[in-house]
Structure 1
């Protein structure tokens, strides 16, 4: 099974990519939802079986990726437990 993780942040989607285990696991950095859509299409066309998204995409972003990949492969997105809301807020507010 080939799978990928798309992460949203200050990345260049053309160069911020990595693969391990004979390209069966990939990570792609993108800076916008539009770039994520493009990356997801490319991944799907290259035989990726599953795409996981970082939590920054949320449900709306996940639905958009499902749409652009034709709902033909599993798309998930990272979430966390509510009791860690403060921990996440503190971690992701650093450097802003």
Structure 2
């Protein structure tokens, strides 16, 4: 199985902000926005990636956009946190 994890934030550039382990079997890629994420997801799919996991910043709406971009043909999930930590996350990310 080939796996990729996408993190999203204005500071990222997918051309520079990426790393892989196990000869590319697992990758992490930083993307600036959802548009870039959709493009990268399509590229990953064409490279044979089986599963894309997304940082929590994507949320359900962003995950659905990635699923649409990949035509619902590969596994897509996103990280979430427990509600008990909402205040900590709000402080950290300003939401």
**What TM-score range do you get, normalising by the shorter chain?**
over 0.9
* More displaced stretch, 1-10 vs 83-92: 83-92
Runs of 4+ residues over 4 Å off in structure 1: none
Corresponding position: 1:83 with 2:67? no
| Structure 2: runs of 5 or more not aligned | none
Name the CA distance, whole Å, in 1 between partners of 2:75 and 2:81: 19
Partner residue, 2:14: 13
Matches within 5 A, 1:34-45: 34-45=35-46
Query: What SS does the aligned partner of 1:15 have?
Result: coil
CA offset digits 1:27-71 (Å, max 9, x no partner): 110001000001000000000010000111111110000001010
Name the CA distance, whole Å, in 2 between partners of 1:38 and 1:18: 18
Root-mean-square deviation (CA), in Å?
0.8
Query: What SS does the aligned partner of 1:58 have?
Result: helix
Count of aligned pairs? 93
| Structure 1: runs of 5 or more not aligned | none
Query: What SS does the aligned partner of 1:40 have?
Result: helix
